[in-house]
Amino acid sequence: MSEALDVLLRCLVVLGAFLTMPLLVGQMEHKAMAHMQARVGPMAAGGFHGWAQLVADGVKFAQKESITPAAADRRVFELAPAVALVPYLVAMVAIPLGPFFGQGVLIGQDLDLGLFFVLAAMSVGVLGTLMGGLGSGNKYSYLGGMRVAAQLMSYELPMVLAAASAAMLAGTLSLVGIADAFEPWWLVVQLPGLVVFFVAGLAELQRPPFDAPLADAELVMGPLTEYGGMRFAMFLLAEYAGIVVLAALTTVLFLGGWAGPWAEQLGWAWTLLKIVGVSFLVIWARVAYPRLREDQVNVLAWKVLVPLALAQVTLTTVVVVW
């Protein structure tokens, strides 16, 4: 009985985090991006500095009609938003938040292969965009879909290599184990890996400056062109959920998760704080940098990130053996 209750409780917490964290990141993006551009962003909805803007957006999306184009591959087209969104929920199950007032580690489910699990889930999420691109029956969406595919192929490798380096150093694939094994000097040794992981993650989420597949100016949002209403909202939510997952993973793998003063009591707060910090970097990158051209995207992956990741793996091997 109590075990069932425990599972239920964990599921609810994960679901709650899944429903709120992306919205918080989205609101942060609204405001931080606005101020970085010397604007103020939403101010009206909700009264105080537009805090309810995303709620209003959600209501608006819910009211809109969801149209399926006649030329679209119906099943694929309608399934795509779910394929984009659900994997991030699944990924969140396995991401630890850290000790909660001495109650053990707050996590949906501690898996021995947690790292593999989360990375795999993240890649499935990208498939949703790919499906949207190929199933829309629209040439711009198709082009966008091809770009998604190219980007997924290019950036999966450096991302996995960087993650592998962290796992090697910790000697485990369990995310809890990796964060527990963290020591501050890893920050220095793992710095290239951290950068590679973060940049590759950005590219995998198709966040600017790696949004060549969406490229609103040339491909009119690429795979998302034909979507409207709730389906489009799901894609948007998937984007922000992706940011949360990426930030959480970066935190756990490279920033020591809940490492910090009073980690036994406040570990979860440290993790959340670091997640917010990394999410802020994701937003900052969007504001500060222009979109990369398609060839530049691939050049960056194969000529910079892959060699860097390989060097990192080599370095980690040396450190571990020594």
Partner 1 sequence: MVKAYGRGLWQGLRVTWRNLTRRSVTAHYPDVEPDLPPRSRGVIALQEENCTSCMLCARECPSWCITIDSHKEVIPAATDGGRDRSQNVLDRFDIDYSICMYCSICIEVCPFDALHWSPEFAYAEGDLKDLTHDMNRLRTWMDTVPPPQALDPGAEQGKELDAYERTRATEEGL
35 vs 74, beta carbon nearer partner 1: 35
| Least separation in angstroms between CB 30 and partner 1 | 13
User: With respect to partner 1, which residue has the nearer C-beta, 83 or 199?
Assistant: 199
As beta bridge partners, residue 105 has 99
CB 105 within 8 A of CB 99: yes
CA distances for 249 relative to 75, 160, 173, 239, angstroms = 32, 12, 13, 15
Q: Any contact of residue 76 with partner 1 (CB under 8 A)?
A: no
In the complex, minimum distance from the CB of residue 39 to partner 1, in angstroms, rounded to a whole number: 5
Q: Pick from 229, 78, 107, 129: which is nearest to 178 by CA?
A: 107
Which of 28, 319 has the CB closer to partner 1?
28
Nearest approach, Cβ of 163 to partner 1 (angstroms)?
24
Determine the size of the site formed for partner 1 (CB under 8 A). 13
Give the CB-side neighbour count of residue 212, counting CA atoms within 13 A: 18
Q: Which two tokens stand for residue 65?
A: 């009609």
Closer to partner 1 by CB, 100 or 280: give it.
280
Long-range contacts at 46-54 (CB < 8 A, ≥ 24 apart): 51/27, 53/27, 54/23, 54/26, 54/27, 54/30
Looking at the Cβ atoms of 38 and 321, the one nearer to partner 1 is 38
Could you give the CA distance from residue 189 to residue 50 in angstroms, rounded to a whole number? 42
How many angstroms separate the CA atoms of 111 and 90, rounded? 12
Q: Which is nearer to partner 1, 116 or 284 (CB)?
A: 284
CA distances from 69 to 60, 79, 230 (A): 21, 14, 15
CB of 34 to partner 1, least distance (A): 7
Radius of gyration of the chain (CA): 20
For residues 128 and 209, which CB has a smaller minimum distance to partner 1 in the complex? Answer: 209
Which lies closer to partner 1 via its Cβ, residue 36 or residue 319? 36
Residues from 129 through 188 that contact partner 1 (CB under 8 A):
none
Region 288-317 residues binding partner 1, contact defined as CB under 8 A: 288-289
Binding mask 249-288 for partner 1 (x = CB under 8 A): -----------------------------------x--xx
CA of 315: how far to CAs of 125, 162, 189, in Å?
A: 31, 11, 8
Q: Measure the CA–CA gap between 240 and 205, rounded to whole angstroms.
A: 9
User: Pattern of binders to partner 1 over 5-44, x per CB under 8 A?
Assistant: ---------------------------x-xxxxxxx--x-
DSSP-derived 3-state class of residue 61: helix
Which amino acid, 293?
Answer: R
Binding site for partner 1 (CB under 8 A): 32, 34-40, 43, 284, 287-289
